[in-house]
Amino acid sequence: MTEAAPIHATTVARRGPDEAAWRAVMILGPSGAGKSDLALRLIGRGWRLVSDDYTRVWASGGSLYATAPQSIAGRIEARGVGIVSARTRWVARVVMAVACAPEAVERLPEPQTRRFAGVDLPLLALDPRPPSAVEMVAVALGTL
């Protein structure tokens, strides 16, 4: 098992196609980029919170796993409202990363990856502000 330092990311998960396995997406970006906002919209569509703002990751068996630091587990920031509780998945296998971009992204980008704890993940660059961002994450996840 290879563990990395906590990553500045919000992580959410949903059940995979076989309904038994949970698959997670790490949402990356600086403070104020829209990580928690996008995560709240995904949670509103049935996803579960793994971790908000900081995510602990480790590699095992060639896969990447995520959990929340204990001090923030089960809570997410709703900007302008405060820290709120959310339905949580305590551990999930991460299968994709989303990089919050401050503007519209390329229409047909070349596939990208990013390495975490020695595991390469597909990387989706995405402006998290449009309402369609939730569907873009779901569509991208469905292609894996």
pLDDT classification of 144: cutoffs 50, 70, 90: low
The answer to whether position 85 is within a domain reads yes
Phi, psi for residue 36 in degrees, rounded to 5: -70, -35
Q: In DSSP terms, which residues pair with 97 in a beta bridge?
A: 26, 123
CATH number for the domain spanning 8: value is 3.40.50.300
What predicted TM-score, i.e. pTM, was given to this entire model? 0.91
Per-residue pLDDT tens over the stretch 40-92: 999 999 999 999 999 999 999 999 999 999 999 999 999 889 999 999 999 99
The answer to whether position 121 is within a domain reads yes
DSSP E strands: which ranges in the chain? 2-3, 9-15, 22-28, 48-51, 56-60, 63-67, 75-78, 82-85, 92-100, 112-116, 119-126
Please give the residue range of the domain that contains residue 13. Answer: 2-137
Per-residue pLDDT tens over the stretch 122-136: 999 999 999 999 999
CA distance 89 to 11: 10
